[in-house]
Structure 1
Amino acid sequence: MSLSISVIIPVYNAEPFLRKAVESALQFKEVKEVILVEDKSPDNALLICEQLVSEDNRVQLLQHPNNENLGAGESRNLGLKHAKQEYIAFLDADDIYLPNRFEKEKELFKNLDVDGVYNAIGVHYYSEEAKVKFCNTFNHPYNLSENFLTTVNREINPKELFEALVRPKNSEGYFSLDGLTIRKSSLKKLKGGWFNDELRLHQDTEFIARLSFYLDLYTGEITKATALRGVHESNRITNNIDEKERNLFLKHNAIGCWAKSEESMDNDIQHYLINQKLYHETFQNKGFKLISTFIKNSFFSKGYVAKRKFKELLFPIYNKFR
């Protein structure tokens, strides 16, 4: 099957990596356009964008009105508005596609019931410092190798995928935007808009949750990487570690509010997501955070263990009397 794909790349502070990312997308004859959305980068990324546009007529450059910085979510939304091809794929400006990126799509999209296909992605560390920072941020063991995959670990029925992602029972895993391809016409099924522009981080997770609820997403290549996440010292998510709890609260708040409004959702899952929202909302409360911080600093060497145990103890009490 011949595919016609638009690849959307939000660009912010990615000067050292951007060219390699774009070239990794242009290697495919199926990629008919690469849409760069430059988000007021503080480095020379705009210059690299302009050079790439001049070198290949498949590359397009977009910017926000008044050259504002609006974040990755709104940048992807702008790219979606301008995408002309039948299929949509995403790539971060510091990541790359591997040569097998669209192999499963060629077969699966022959079935018109397939709204999207997701694949495994791997990781590439640009330095040891970046590896340490990444592992510390996500509480991964430091010996996490470059063979680590971001993927679901089994083939999942599309009708069961939403619950597997938002309420995993057996550590079934998750997937990334870099490994996702969507039939553009299927996006009209998505309620709640495209990417949530109020989320500066985790807007991809919130988007994928809603996609998996409204669309039929099929398992593609999950045994080996089809793209590589580039981990370096200036990654946004690892440099926002001090705001980690706040960003998690915003993500769970967005998902919980959407779940509360979605009447067709299974009641058990809906209540779970609403409670997740309340759980994180509770611990934005300054008093709880102060006590949690005290316990963390006083009794535990690993703060996330203290926080988790503390929350597990107090949240049911808070929820009972709120």
Structure 2
Amino acid sequence: MFVVSVIIPVFNASEFLFNSVTSAIELKEVIEVILVEDGSTDNSLNVCLELEKTFDKVKVFSHEGGLNKGPSASRNLGIKKSTAPFVSFLDADDWYLPNRFLMDKKRFTELENIDAVYSCSIMDKYQGLRNKLYGVNSIKYSNLNPILMPIKFFEKVVRNKLVLFDTNSITFKKSFLQKFKLFDERLFLHQDIELWFRLMRKGTFVAGDWENPVSVYRRHPGNRITSKSRLSNLKMIQVYLDNLGIDNLLRFEIDDLYSRILRKKSQKFSNSMKRRVFFYFYYYIGFFNKKSVLEKFKSSYDID
């Protein structure tokens, strides 16, 4: 039976919570909405408790001592507390659309051996504009169809630099998630991307809806989208290397990570010519010794 636990980490999102939560509880596939209150300094905890009183589907949890432990720890706690066989996520300032789980249900019902279904989403200011969809589209889908084995799928994603979904638009079998280390709690940013890359190496991911967005994400000064930076990207790569181990990297991964690190490092220069010179100079210096460069990079900063 296809029913879903929706996990929402909550930190200083009191003004958005009602819209986010009601967009999920109104969907028949959703049997529970798990709010993990992450030590907010605004009125979020009170809003969560009021929503729990009002709606039977809502369950509220907090970290021990009311600590702020970040989105990774909050989502991990939500997964632990969830009771449905399928799990999805929603940021507290975003919302689901009515079709959120229609294709997910179809895919998981028809294809028993798959592990995740992903769909497209859209930014709030672009609603109604089909050319502004974020994630999978008909062109990307054609490149990934028919269903591919995990490593072949992952290779196509990496080699073609495909962005297929965001955290709000993917649904997992809980049993699949439980096989692996979940969100890395050392990361406050990009923790979702780091996990998706680890999971895509192991699971069967298929497209759900690539024509109609299933969720809306909001961009505003207070949310984490606007906080992402060059250094936070580099830390994410370090954590990924630490979790996976350099010796377990595939050839195409080594090439991709090597280039990504250099591109991110080159962004410290505002001048585009300096960025290009930096990138290509170091790219060719380490070209024949990429694994050693990655190992040195992984060990160069304290990531704990």
Q: Say yes or no: TM over 0.5.
A: yes
- 1:1-322 aligned within 5 A: 2-110=1-109, 111-125=111-125, 148-153=132-137, 154-155=140-141, 156=144, 157-159=147-149, 160-168=152-160, 172-190=162-180, 193-238=181-226, 240=227, 244-261=229-246, 263=248, 267-276=250-259, 279=262, 283=265, 293=269, 296=270, 300=271, 305-306=272-273, 308-319=275-286
For each residue in 1:190-231, what CA deviation from the matched residue of structure 2 results, as whole angstroms up to 9, or x when unmatched? 3xx100111110001111111111111111101120000012
- 8 Å CA contact retained: 2:7, 2:78: yes
Question: Residue 113 and residue 307 in structure 1: after superposition, are their counterparts in 2 closer, same or farther (change >3 A)?
Answer: farther
Partners of 1:88 and 1:146 in 2: how far apart? 27
For each residue in 1:3-46, what CA deviation from the matched residue of structure 2 results, as whole angstroms up to 9, or x when unmatched? 21100000011111111000000011211110000111121111
Partners of 2:273 and 2:263 in 1: how far apart? 15
Question: Residue 17 and residue 210 in structure 1: after superposition, are their counterparts in 2 closer, same or farther (change >3 A)?
Answer: same
Partners of 1:147 and 1:42 in 2: how far apart? 38
- 8 Å CA contact retained: 1:252, 1:280: no
- Secondary structure in structure 2 of the residue aligned to 1:88: strand
Question: Residue 258 and residue 53 in structure 1: after superposition, are their counterparts in 2 closer, same or farther (change >3 A)?
Answer: same
Partners of 1:13 and 1:164 in 2: how far apart? 38
- 8 Å CA contact retained: 2:118, 2:169: yes
Question: Residue 178 and residue 150 in structure 1: after superposition, are their counterparts in 2 closer, same or farther (change >3 A)?
Answer: same
- 8 Å CA contact retained: 1:6, 1:87: yes
Which ranges of structure 1 fall in alignment gaps of 5 or more residues? 126-130, 132-144
Partners of 1:176 and 1:209 in 2: how far apart? 12
Question: Residue 50 and residue 188 in structure 1: after superposition, are their counterparts in 2 closer, same or farther (change >3 A)?
Answer: closer
- Secondary structure in structure 2 of the residue aligned to 1:62: strand
Letter of the 2:283 counterpart:
P
For each residue in 1:89-140, what CA deviation from the matched residue of structure 2 results, as whole angstroms up to 9, or x when unmatched? 1000001000100011121112211111001011104xxxxx9xxxxxxxxx
RMSD: 2.5
- Secondary structure in structure 2 of the residue aligned to 1:198: coil
Which ranges of structure 2 fall in alignment gaps of 5 or more residues? 294-304
- Secondary structure in structure 2 of the residue aligned to 1:51: helix
Total equivalences in the alignment: 279
Letter of the 1:312 counterpart:
F
Question: Residue 22 and residue 87 in structure 1: after superposition, are their counterparts in 2 closer, same or farther (change >3 A)?
Answer: same
Partners of 2:224 and 2:164 in 1: how far apart? 20
Measured after TM superposition, the shift of residue 276 of structure 1 is: 4.5
Measured after TM superposition, the shift of residue 315 of structure 1 is: 1.8
After TM superposition, the score normalised by the length of structure 2 is 0.83
- 8 Å CA contact retained: 1:256, 1:274: no
Partners of 2:213 and 2:6 in 1: how far apart? 18
- Secondary structure in structure 2 of the residue aligned to 1:35: strand
Partners of 1:78 and 1:280 in 2: how far apart? 34
Letter of the 1:121 counterpart:
S
Partners of 1:230 and 1:23 in 2: how far apart? 16
Comparing 146-155 and 271-280, the one that deviates more = 271-280
Question: Residue 225 and residue 307 in structure 1: after superposition, are their counterparts in 2 closer, same or farther (change >3 A)?
Answer: farther
Question: Residue 308 and residue 108 in structure 1: after superposition, are their counterparts in 2 closer, same or farther (change >3 A)?
Answer: farther
Measured after TM superposition, the shift of residue 277 of structure 1 is: 6.9
Q: Which residue of 2 aligns with 1:137?
A: none
